A and B are shown apart, each in its own frame.
Chain A
Amino acid sequence: MEDFQEQEYEFLRRLEEEKLDRRKLLRRGLVAGAGLTILSMPAGALAARRKALANPPLRGGALSLKEWVAQAKKEGTLNTIALPPDWANYGEIMSTFTKKYGIKISNDNPDGSSAQENQAVRSLKGDPRAPDVLDVSPSFAQAGANEGLYAKFFTKNFAKVPRAMKDGRGFWVADYWGVTSFGVNTAVVSNIPKTWQDLLKPEYKNKVALNGSPLTSGSAQAGVFAAALANGGSLANVGPGIDFFAKLKSAGNFIPVQATPQTIASGQTPITIDWDYLNLAYGKEFPAAKIKTSIPSDGVYGAYYCQAINATGPHPWAARLWQEFLYSDQGQLLWLKGYSHPALFTDMTRRKVVPKALTAALPSAAVYSKVKFASPSQNTKAKETVATDWPKKVGS
């Protein structure tokens, strides 16, 4: 007889012995199934709860701060990108965050650009070195949100941010804004220019610089906008701004060196057109250069940067805790300490929580009240105009 036939006869014989019939077999099967289901329910419930905790909630207010911190501490690290320590006081913000919550911050590529931040999200997807949080200019924030790079999140104070400064869907929020200003190294230049027209004076020959080219630097593009506002242009028409810089170049006052903190301190670029928070911070960083900041009264242009969370970042809880920290009073006041205007500035002023010392360190509020922001469509139009006209008129 074949092997299998032997086994079959053996099985049938045993079946006969135990007097198992079909009905008994079926009943035993049902009991076993019910038992297994009941026993597995706590395990299933536990797995479901762990999965729920693996995905942070959509709103900051859904959990208490202690729960946020507990979850974030389990991740232990936060990956940031392109945050120079002397830009709007990010150095102190990062160290305060680490000291307060015990979460290490690993800051990658401090001098990176917004394009590199979005590209890091794309290329490092799934990598533990991918950035968790981003600080990008508005056009890149829009592009990233539309491309699906960012996660939706509403901090506790999301509703208090002005409508024009946030994405309604929750993909990004403005973090701080500043205006275009002149940073002057008074050890080299004794007469501080107060308006855009002043820059054309012959005493400033070979002394005026931008923070890079408006084709690649957000701050330089803001310089063009502000010059346009002061010279008969508008937010929708930056041509006069480009013409102004062409005039500045032909007068010999404009040098195309990119202004860095080092060139300002060394006197290579004694008059720099840059963000007010940067110029004011350099004033404190380089006391020997006696850098004074003046905001030109005839053209006040402001722009904000945007905070976003990487949808595929490796530390989702720490990223959201970082945002909660930034939009708390403490975080916003640290940005104010860095001479920038945080997004919740108006709300905090109304609630009278802003220390007088911080507002006194900034230039007068009267100048800031004249600030103009460009809309996304005005921004796009300006970029196109600059891309075609700047190389022709100001470049070589």
Chain B
Amino acid sequence: METGRTRRRLPLAYLGVLPFFLYATAFLFWPAAKVMFGAFQDDAGGLTLDHVQKLFDEPYRTAFKNSIEVSLVTAGLGAVFGLLLAYAAIREGTPRFVRAGLTTFSGVAANFAGIPLAAAFIATLGTIGVVTQFMTEQLGFNPYDHGFSVFSKTGIEIVYLYFQIPLMILVIAPAIDGLRREWREAASSLGASSWQFWRHVGIPIMTPSILSAFVLLFGNSFSAYATAYGLTGGSVGLVPITIGFYLSGNVLDDPHLGQALAFGMLVVLALMMLLYIPLQRRASRWSR
């Protein structure tokens, strides 16, 4: 019987994904659930809203503001520059080796984040960094005399762009590949200028991909910890660093507050998704 045959096929398929579900449960859902429940527990085990209420108080509010600001800035700039770089490398006039070289470099740079990146930037742009020394001696211009410091929020944004732009390049390259040459030729044969092509054809086609990449970059920057910690030693308040203070430092010890901060991060990311979904629907309406 046909129904019998279809029904028998399904369970075997689920068996194939069972290991993945177990893995996701053990390493993703279970820890996330523990964090979310821990955020509302007090030391005695009862329920309390105290920890989450504290999030609206001073050091944590600034931490969230800083984190969101840094993430928006690096995601925005990363998206724009990544898109421009990727397009420049992929369009027809460019020699083939440029794209290959750029993709390989991006693959390394996108994953280079962490303490080594922070150390590299301190050695380059720090108070006695190589570039700083060069600028002071050869160009007579010391950026530190003019208020610049790599150990500030600006410095963090510059360092984050080092891995945000390559990540954008990697993610947007397939979307640029999807822009067929025939569309460009069709548009110009109908009399459209370059600007008109991009405004009416190119960008609307790419917008869904650009939006997804932006959200990815935002999440990547929002949860980065080691890079910012290695660069500023925790003096710039960001949410992952504050969580580290409360969970694994030598001075403060309040695991439930750390879990509440993590819960706050989940809320921010969820809000981001809530903003993203209707935008995505609107952007892809031409393809429906």
User: Residues of A at under 8 Å CB distance from B?
Assistant: 113-116, 119, 137, 139-140, 143, 206-207, 210, 212-218, 221, 252, 255-258, 266-268, 383, 386-388, 391-392, 394-396
Instruction: List the 10 closest pairs (A to B, CB-CB), nearest first.
Output: A216-B249, A256-B235, A258-B233, A213-B234, A391-B59, A218-B250, A206-B127, A391-B237, A215-B245, A113-B250
With CB as the reference atom, state the residue of chain B lying closest to A218.
B250
**CA A116 to CA B66, docked complex, whole Å:** 27
A-B contact count (CB 8 A): 97
Q: Which residues of A contact B152 (CB under 8 A)?
A: 396
A396 and B251 form a contact (CB under 8 A): no
With CB as the reference atom, state the residue of chain B lying closest to A112.
B248
Instruction: Determine how close the nearest CB of chain A comes to the CB of B276; give it in whole angstroms.
Output: 29
Known: A115-B248, A139-B253, A140-B253. A396 touches B127 (CB 8 A): no
B251 and A383 form a contact (CB under 8 A): yes
Q: Is B166 an interface residue (CB 8 A)?
A: no
Total chain B interface residues with beta-carbon distance under 8 A: 30
Q: Which residues of A contact B126 (CB under 8 A)?
A: 257, 268
**CA A196 to CA B233, docked complex, whole Å:** 22
Q: Which residues of B contact A257 (CB under 8 A)?
A: 122, 126, 151, 232-233
Known: A212-B234, A257-B151, A388-B59. A217 touches B127 (CB 8 A): no
User: Residues of B at under 8 Å CB distance from A?
Assistant: 57-59, 62-63, 66, 122, 126-128, 144, 149, 151-153, 232-237, 244-245, 247-253
Known: A213-B245, A268-B128, A396-B235. A391 touches B250 (CB 8 A): no
Partner of B249, one of A115, A210, A394: A115
A and B contact pairs by CB, cutoff 8 A, 12 listed: A115-B248, A139-B251, A140-B253, A215-B234, A216-B234, A256-B235, A266-B128, A383-B252, A388-B58, A391-B237, A395-B236, A396-B236
**CA A385 to CA B144, docked complex, whole Å:** 31
Q: Which residues of B contact A396 (CB under 8 A)?
A: 66, 152-153, 235-237
B62 and A137 form a contact (CB under 8 A): no
A sample of 17 more A-B contacts (CB under 8 A), given A216-B249, A217-B250, A268-B127, is: A113-B250, A139-B251, A140-B250, A212-B233, A213-B235, A215-B251, A216-B234, A218-B251, A252-B144, A255-B149, A256-B234, A258-B233, A267-B128, A268-B128, A383-B252, A395-B236, A396-B236
Q: Which residues of B contact A268 (CB under 8 A)?
A: 122, 126-128
**CA A320 to CA B235, docked complex, whole Å:** 40
**CA A124 to CA B62, docked complex, whole Å:** 36
Q: Chain A binding site: helix, strand, loop or mixed by DSSP?
A: loop
**CA A207 to CA B127, docked complex, whole Å:** 9
Instruction: Determine how close the nearest CB of chain A comes to the CB of B101; give it in whole angstroms.
Output: 32
Known: A256-B232, A267-B128, A268-B126. A113 touches B253 (CB 8 A): no
Instruction: Determine how close the nearest CB of chain B comes to the CB of A122; give it in whole angstroms.
Output: 10
Instruction: Determine how close the nearest CB of chain A comes to the CB of B243; give it in whole angstroms.
Output: 11
**CA A396 to CA B63, docked complex, whole Å:** 9
A216 and B128 form a contact (CB under 8 A): no
**CA A395 to CA B62, docked complex, whole Å:** 10
B235 and A395 form a contact (CB under 8 A): yes
Instruction: Determine how close the nearest CB of chain A comes to the CB of B163; give it in whole angstroms.
Output: 20
**CA A354 to CA B60, docked complex, whole Å:** 50
**CA A137 to CA B249, docked complex, whole Å:** 11
A143 and B59 form a contact (CB under 8 A): no
A113 and B249 form a contact (CB under 8 A): yes
A215 and B249 form a contact (CB under 8 A): yes
Known: A113-B250, A216-B234, A396-B236. A387 touches B59 (CB 8 A): yes
With CB as the reference atom, state the residue of chain A lying closest to B236.
A396
**CA A348 to CA B149, docked complex, whole Å:** 49
**CA A391 to CA B153, docked complex, whole Å:** 13
Q: Which residues of A contact B57 (CB under 8 A)?
A: 388
Q: Which residues of B contact A258 (CB under 8 A)?
A: 233-234
Q: Which residues of A contact B122 (CB under 8 A)?
A: 257, 268
**CA A267 to CA B127, docked complex, whole Å:** 10
Q: Which residues of A contact B245 (CB under 8 A)?
A: 213, 215-216
Known: A206-B144, A257-B126. A391 touches B62 (CB 8 A): yes
**CA A246 to CA B144, docked complex, whole Å:** 18
B236 and A256 form a contact (CB under 8 A): yes
Instruction: Determine how close the nearest CB of chain A comes to the CB of B230; give it in whole angstroms.
Output: 8
Instruction: Determine how close the nearest CB of chain A comes to the CB of B50; give it in whole angstroms.
Output: 15
Instruction: Determine how close the nearest CB of chain A comes to the CB of B25; give it in whole angstroms.
Output: 20
**CA A143 to CA B128, docked complex, whole Å:** 42
